[in-house]
Amino acid sequence: MFELSLPAGVEQSTGAHLPGTREVVVCVRGRVRVGPLGEEAYLGPGDDRWFAADGPDGYVGLRDGRALDWVLYDG
């Protein structure tokens, strides 16, 4: 599990994880946009997003945000 600090207006991205990897992000504070590039979801406190993490994904703070991020590897 990772804690993500996402200041407003700051965009972060990651490369692909291993094939079959899944990710779940739960917004704890603020408002964030997360998910596979081109398929991001908007989250507020208590919202979550599950997605395949075997491609590039991004994280953006829309309002200073904090989120928890689990990366689940297959096998």
Confidence of residue 38 (pLDDT cuts 50, 70, 90): very high
Which residues form the domain of 10? 2-72
Contact 58, 43 (CB under 8 A): no
Q: DSSP letters of 21-50?
A: -EEEEEEEEEEEEEEETTS-EEE-TT-EEE
User: How far is the C-alpha of 45 from the C-alpha of 54, rounded, in Å?
Assistant: 26
Q: Is 74's pLDDT higher than 90?
A: no
Average pLDDT of every residue of the chain: 95
pLDDT in tens, 1-28: 999 999 999 999 999 999 999 999 999 9
Total domain count, the chain: 1
Residue 64 pLDDT: 96
CATH of the domain at 10: 2.60.120.10
Q: Is 47's pLDDT higher than 80?
A: yes
User: How far is the C-alpha of 14 from the C-alpha of 30, rounded, in Å?
Assistant: 21
What is the token pair recorded at 29? 């504070």
User: How far is the C-alpha of 31 from the C-alpha of 63, rounded, in Å?
Assistant: 5
